[in-house]
């Protein structure tokens, strides 16, 4: 470890990597929740919230990494339902000889495909941002003296 790392705010050299502090706090949470899991059954989350909560856990929360953006399955399924509705409406209209009505179905489908495309694009952007945030988090340091966090190369 480099000896010349100092807090940019107060000049203290008692700084630690946020990642290590976070992982130390996380492992203590896991130990607690496994103990609770024996008696608590499904209410593990509640057990964790009540039994932990020392300064380490709070610090761990403060220094937690960015959350990875997830694809919203419910939203995607909803949009797929819209597309399927559009397809069946279009087929029904075409079978019934109602060409104009089939355009509504095609409209539904187009909106559905457009929504999926924009959902995927925004997820892609969020994931790219997450990569940046995560890399930054790897450079985050915590000062034991003033409690300030800073990015150190
Ligand atoms: Zn400091």
Is 105 part of any domain?
A: yes
Q: Under DSSP, is residue 68 helix (H, G, I), strand (E, B) or coil? A: coil
Q: pLDDT tier at 5 (50, 70, 90 boundaries)?
A: confident
Ligand 1 geometric centre to CA of 57 (Å):
20
Are 122 and 106 in the same domain? yes
In b/e form, how buried is each residue of 94-133, taking b as 16+ CB within 10 angstroms? eeeeeeeebeebeebbeebeebbeeeeeeeeeeeeeeeee
Residue range of the domain that includes 115: 73-130
Domain count within the chain? 2
Are 125 and 143 in the same domain? no
Per-residue pLDDT at 34 exceeds 90:
no
Are 50 and 84 in the same domain? no
Are 62 and 110 in the same domain? no
Q: pLDDT tier at 52 (50, 70, 90 boundaries)?
A: very low
Instruction: Please work out, in degrees rounded to the nearest 5, the angle formed at the alpha carbon of residue 69 by the alpha carbons of 64 and 74.
Output: 130
pTM, rounded to two decimals:
0.64
Between these two residues, 44 and 94, which has the higher pLDDT value? 94
Are 88 and 123 in the same domain? yes
Per residue in 55-79, pLDDT (tens digit) is 556 788 889 999 999 988 899 999 9
Ligand 1 geometric centre to CA of 129 (Å):
28
Ligand 1 geometric centre to CA of 58 (Å):
18
Is 110 part of any domain?
A: yes
């Amino acid at each position: 470890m480099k000896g010349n790392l100092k807090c940019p705010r107060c000049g203290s050299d008692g700084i630690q990597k946020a990642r290590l502090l976070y992982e130390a706090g996380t492992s203590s949470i896991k130990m607690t929740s496994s103990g609770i899991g024996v008696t608590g059954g499904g209410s593990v989350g509640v057990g964790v919230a009540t039994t932990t909560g020392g300064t380490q856990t709070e610090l761990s929360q403060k220094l937690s990494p960015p959350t990875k953006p997830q694809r919203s399955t419910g939203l995607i399924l909803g949009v797929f339902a819209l597309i399927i509705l559009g397809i069946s409406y279009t087929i029904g209209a075409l079978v019934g000889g109602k060409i104009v009505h089939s355009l509504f179905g095609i409209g539904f489908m187009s909106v559905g495909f457009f929504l999926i495309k924009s959902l995927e694009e925004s997820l892609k952007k969020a994931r790219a941002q997450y990569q940046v945030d995560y890399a930054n988090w790897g450079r985050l340091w915590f000062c034991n003296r003033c409690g300030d966090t800073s990015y150190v190369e």
